[in-house]
Amino acid sequence: MSLTQNEIVGVLKVATAYDGRQRGEADVMAWMDSAARAGWTYTEALEAVKEHFAFDGSWIGPAVVTKRIHAARESAERARLAELGAAKRAELESGGDATADPERAHRFFEAIADRFGWQHKPKAAAPALAVACPHCQAAPGRPCARVIRRGHREGEFVPLSNVHDSRVAASKNGAH
């Protein structure tokens, strides 16, 4: 996001056109350093210089440019938040449902997954749950489980996050 030397020279030429002072290589280097530290963009820097001279004829330095850029960014953010707030108020006043829409949330997360290139694994568990599990004897609709064989929890059933392969095969064979 840092400006190039040519962009800094362009900004300084605009400032020189307003105040008529000569600027040298040291000025270019100082302004480049300030631009990099404050994260200026070329468009923002030009606009800040023009805005400064439209309302103030005093000497302009990098600090003035940075202050004007930050003020413009804050103003734009306040306007954006006000617009979002007005849209949300209008939605609530119109009787819009303030609860999360599961379909909308699903589309949102699908878009994120697509953007990051995450793979979508088909869930074999959903159709398999319609049949009883031949391995652990889990009833239809109930998750498969395993039995803990050792320790203080011996004999306890722990639900699995997936289904046994034999249950998937049983559901494909149509066994109910």
DSSP string of 87-149, one letter each residue? HHHHHHHTT---SPPHHHHHHHHHHHHHHHT------SHHHHTTS--TTT-PPTTSPPEEE--
Q: Is the pLDDT of residue 130 over 80?
A: yes
Instruction: Please tell me the predicted confidence (pLDDT) of residue 54.
Output: 93
Q: Predicted confidence band at 87 (pLDDT cuts at 50, 70, 90)?
A: confident
Of 102 and 152, which is predicted with more confidence? 152
pLDDT at residue 37, rounded to an integer? 94
Task: Give residue 75's pLDDT band: very low, low, confident or very high (50, 70, 90).
Answer: very high
Residue 2 CB burial class (10 angstroms; 0-12, 13-18, ≥19)? middle
pLDDT of res. 17 = 92
Distance between CA atoms of 168 and 13, rounded to whole angstroms?
73
Distance CA 92, CA 5 (A): 50
Quick one: residue 45, left, alpha or beta (phi over 0 = left, psi -120 to 50 = alpha)? alpha
Residue 127, pLDDT > 90, answer: no
State the residue for tokens 């949102």: 108
**Which is higher by pLDDT, 34 or 95?**
34
Output the pLDDT for position 100.
67
Average pLDDT estimate for 52-60: 89
- Look at residue 121 in the predicted model and tell me its pLDDT: 58
CA distance 159 to 156: 10
Q: Given a cut of 70, is residue 60 above it in pLDDT?
A: yes
The mean predicted confidence, pLDDT, of the chain is 85
* Mean pLDDT across 143-147: 88
Calculate mean pLDDT across residues 132-140. 89
